[in-house]
Amino acid sequence: MVDLNFKYKSLIEFLKSETPFKPELSIILGSGLGDFAEQLQIHKSISTSDIPGYPVSTVVGHKGKIHFAEYENKKLILFQGRVHFYEGYNINECIIPVFISHKLGVKNLLLTNAAGGINKNFTPGDLMLATSLNGILIKKELTDLIGLTNLAGKDNFINLPDPEFNNLIKTTAKSENINLKQGVYWFTKGPTYETPAEIKFFAKYGADAVGMSTVHEAVYSSYLGMKTAAISCITNFASGISDQKLSHSEVTETADRVKNIFARLVKAIIKAV
């Protein structure tokens, strides 16, 4: 277990001195929402490479930036450019945006990502609200993160996803006329996409979508007491669900194709929070 307050002391001090306001909502931007912040009134953008101790992302299309922005009088912090577990980072580096959000006083955290569709009713381009998240494949790392003995004064039952936040998102999607699917997001470590046999296994145990992020962030966020929800952009059929070969370019192309509708949904959520 790592003491994050100690490990990230100078990082937090730096950000607290740079923060233009106390953000109320934090959004972690996945593929497809990469340039979302540009649609908002940006007060300040900081490159993560200028932040002492901030891990560096190596994935194409993941720009490392933290934006302090405003939309409809809501003060926001947005994280552009995730670092993923499959890039070789420790879990305590992967959850840094969640830790920062909490330290800056954020109450609500919205996670977004790209995911492969397992549910046969999903097609690439769909948006899916997570009704639950399966972190069984990252449970050991989550235990390492939180620590076996770190529950003093804390409730170890997490409210994930937050039911009120999810209801607000569902109502918002309806009023925006956006067909928001719902389902269970299942984490895999990557870096390779899954085999058809793995997807069959996940499907059997209730997975509707699969991806390589989000669950550890969501569990940690919820553990810290933030209201947490997650929305996936279904960018491709998961392995074996269709005959088509998977590719990272299909993921980025689909994410790009639906980015306007995804952005419209997220803006409406910001307004409604």
| Geometric angle at alpha carbon 44, from 39 and 48, rounded to 5° | 100
Q: Which stretch binds ligand HPA (CB under 6 A): 44-52, 70-78, 98-106, 108-116?
A: 108-116
Query: What is the size of the binding site for ligand HPA (CB under 6 A)?
Result: 14
The neighbouring-strand residues paired with 28 are 79, 111
Q: Which of 27/246 has CB closer to ligand HPA?
A: 246
Q: Which stretch binds ligand HPA (CB under 6 A): 3-11, 50-58, 129-137, 206-214?
A: 206-214
Q: Which of 76, 98, 115, 215 lies at the binding interface for ligand HPA (CB under 6 A)?
A: 115
The maximal CA–CA distance of the chain, rounded, in angstroms, is 52
Q: Which stretch binds ligand HPA (CB under 6 A): 6-14, 41-49, 66-74, 186-194?
A: 186-194
Q: Could you say whether residue 101 binds ligand HPA (CB under 6 A)? A: no
- What is the nearest approach in angstroms of ligand HPA to the Cβ of residue 128? 12
Q: How far apart are CA 79 and CA 154, in angstroms?
A: 27
Q: Could you say whether residue 161 binds ligand HPA (CB under 6 A)? A: no
Q: Which of 95, 114, 173, 268 lies at the binding interface for ligand HPA (CB under 6 A)?
A: 114
Q: Which of 17/121 has CB closer to ligand HPA?
A: 121
Q: Which of 8/85 has CB closer to ligand HPA?
A: 85
H-type helices in 187-239, by residue range? Answer: 196-204, 215-223
Give DSSP secondary structure letters for 130-170: EEEEE-GGGHHHHHHHH-TTTTTTS------S-HHHHHHHH
Q: Please, are residues 184 and 133 in contact by the beta-carbon 8 Å criterion?
A: yes
Question: What is the b/e burial string over 176-197, where b = at least 16 CB atoms within 10 angstroms of the residue's CB?
Answer: beeebbbbbbbbbeeeebbeee
Q: Which residues bind ligand HPA (CB under 6 A)?
A: 114-116, 188, 193-194, 210-212, 235-236, 238, 246, 251
